[in-house]
Every structure is written in structure tokens, then in C-alpha cells.
Amino acid sequence: MGIQTMMVIGAGQMGSGIAQVAATAGFRVILNDIQDEFIQRGLKGIQKNLTRDVEKGRKTEQEKAEILARIEPSTDLQAAAQTDFVIEAIIENLDKKAEIFRQLDAICPPQTILASNTSSLPITEIAAVTNRPEKVIGMHFMNPVPVMKLIEVIRGLATSDETYQIVEDLSKKMQKIPVEVNDFPGFISNRVLMPMINEAIYCVYEGVAKPEAIDQIMKLGMNHPMGPLTLADFIGLDTCLYIMEVLHEGFGDSKYRPCPLLRKYVKAGWLGKKSGRGFFRYES
């Protein structure tokens, strides 16, 4: 199956990054969100990244213009009827994702593959709301999408070999490296990463050290490019909390309990970099 047109649903930090790499790989991309304002914000980010590529001599002005011209904004989910492939990147909420997949199943032609960029939610359950579970798969990009090489590809219980192969080929076409995992809460990436971040938050909560010190220890001592609290702010504290809740509920093990300080920050609207404040402060 030759993929020509894809839809990316959710123009937040992940969706806009995915649209950028897909358009750069030559695909026509319909970038969908509930409000045009969010799409315009996503497009602005893509434009900024491409301008930096031009300034650094990695792309020409013409290539930049061609990539941007391949991205079409749309607030109408019905536009998915024209697509061969859909990647959903809305907020990390099972009911909201299931609702989108239910609608997509009714809108899209039967051959269209429906992928989710979920960080932790069960692909098998998302697939089960559709009449095409063999064509539903997890395609988990890492943040920042234009930079990070990995795509964690998650096979739901019913995902077919053909669907897996198409996603593996597509990932390579987007200059990424796909790695296959099975469908368990948090998959591999966030089952390993998020408890470390949660533990770093417990260290703040218990007054073991200041956020700056915790990050410095992990950067200088473990060679992490970002400390865990800066990384949590970068991912989004709401997303971190949702993922911890999925791990906690999915495994029923208290070792995954989200730190109360994480809950408090999210309730206060301190979502990290995207809201201007999390463990650290950011200028918009």
C-alpha cells in the first residue's frame, strides 16, 4: 500500500512535530485540531524549526516552502476520508482517544491505518472500539520529534503483521528507527522513564534536595542530556501524571503511585514549559 496522504490529529507539541517530519519525508499532511488557533500555533513551531534548518544550511528556502505547502490545516475530522494513514496525538486520555478512533473508523476508507502516538494507553483497547483492530497500532514518537531517532511501535493484540510492516517502513521513510514492543502499560519507554521522573519529584516533595540540585546530579553524574525535572517540564506535567496513573492502574502496584506534589502542580495549572511554570519557570 502506498501512503500518499496522512492526517495528524492534535497540533500540540507532538502532533506538530509529527506533521513536520511527515511533510519533510514527502507526504501530504492534513493537520487537525479542535480549534484553528491551535493549528496555527503548531504551524508556527514548524516554521521556526524549518527556518533554523535553512539558517544552518540543512535546507534551502525552496525546500522549506515545499514542506510547508504539503501541510494543510483542518478542523474537520471528516477530512480523514481522504487519507491512507492517520496518526492521533491528542491529550493522553483513553475516553477521548477512543471517541476519536470510533469516529475515524466510520469516516476513513477501510484500508486506512489508524495509529496512536499514545505514551502509555492500551492500544488493544483503543483498537477494540473500531471494526478494524488489525489496522490499529501504536506509533510512539519521542519529544522533540524532529530530533529524536526512536519510534516505539506498539502491537495491539489484533495488530496484523501487514500493519506492523507498513509502520516500520513508514518510520524509516521519516528517517526514524522503529523498535517493536508489545502492548503493556507504558510500553518500555515510559515504564522505565516515568518512575525515575516520579522519584525525582518525590525527592523535591520530601525535601531531599532542591530541583536544581536533583537535575545537576543526574546530568553530571549520569550524563543525562536533561535533568529529570527539566525533562518532566519539557514533556508536560499533565502528561507525566496521566502516564503515572496508567502505570498505577494498569499494574495495580503501589510502586507506580504518582507523587502528590505532581498532582498538586497539575491542579495548579503548573504544567511545565508549555504553561510557563513547572519545577522551573519559562519565558513565553
Ligand X SMILES: NC(=O)C1=CN([C@@H]2O[C@H](COP(=O)(O)OP(=O)(O)OC[C@H]3O[C@@H](n4cnc5c(N)ncnc54)[C@H](OP(=O)(O)O)[C@@H]3O)[C@@H](O)[C@H]2O)C=CC1
Chain residues that interact with ligand X, rule: CB under 6 A: 9-15, 32-34, 38, 89-92, 96, 100, 117-119, 140-141, 143, 235-236, 239
- Least separation in angstroms between residue 81's CB and ligand X is 16
Q: Which does 198 bind (CB under 5 to 8 A by kind): ligand CAA, ligand X, none?
A: none
Question: What grid cell was written down for 143?
Answer: 519529544
- Least separation in angstroms between residue 120's CB and ligand CAA is 7
Residue carrying C-alpha cell 533554523:
52
Strand locations in 127-284 (E): 136-141, 150-155, 177-182
Cα 228 from Cα 36, distance rounded (Å):
33
In the complex with ligand CAA, the residue whose CB is nearer, 108 or 258, is: 258
The packing angle between helices 237-251 and 189-205, to 10°, is: 110
In the complex with ligand X, the residue whose CB is nearer, 89 or 203, is: 89
b/e map of 29-39 (b: 16 or more CB within 10 Å)?
bbbbbeeeebb
Q: Which of the residues are catalytic?
A: 119, 140, 152, 190
CB 213 within 8 A of CB 200: no
Cα 18 from Cα 1, distance rounded (Å):
21
In the complex with ligand X, the residue whose CB is nearer, 33 or 183, is: 33
- Counting residues that bind ligand CAA (by CB under 6 A) gives 17
56 binds ligand CAA (CB under 6 A): yes
- Of 239, 241, 118, the residue nearest 181 (C-alpha): 118
In the complex with ligand X, the residue whose CB is nearer, 38 or 256, is: 38
In the complex with ligand CAA, the residue whose CB is nearer, 144 or 195, is: 144
235 binds ligand CAA (CB under 6 A): yes
Helix (H, G, I), strand (E, B) or coil at 1: coil
Question: What grid cell was written down for 147?
Answer: 530530533
Q: Which does 74 bind (CB under 5 to 8 A by kind): ligand CAA, ligand X, none?
A: none
Cα 284 from Cα 126, distance rounded (Å):
35
In the complex with ligand X, the residue whose CB is nearer, 10 or 122, is: 10
Eight-state DSSP code of residue 143? S
Cα 14 from Cα 119, distance rounded (Å):
11
- Least separation in angstroms between residue 133's CB and ligand X is 19
Report how far apart the first and last C-alpha atoms of the chain are (Å, whole number).
43
Eight-state DSSP code of residue 35? S
Pick out residues in 203-232 that bind ligand CAA (CB under 6 A). 225-226, 231
Q: Which does 146 bind (CB under 5 to 8 A by kind): ligand CAA, ligand X, none?
A: ligand CAA
Q: Which residue is nearest to ligand X (CB)?
A: 12
Q: Which does 10 bind (CB under 5 to 8 A by kind): ligand CAA, ligand X, none?
A: ligand X
- Least separation in angstroms between residue 13's CB and ligand X is 4
Compute CA 63 distance to the chain's CA centroid, rounded to the nearest angstrom. Answer: 25
Pick out residues in 90-149 that bind ligand CAA (CB under 6 A). 119, 142-144, 146-148
Which residues in this chain contact ligand CAA in the complex, by CB under 6 A? 49, 52, 56, 119, 142-144, 146-148, 189-190, 193, 225-226, 231, 235
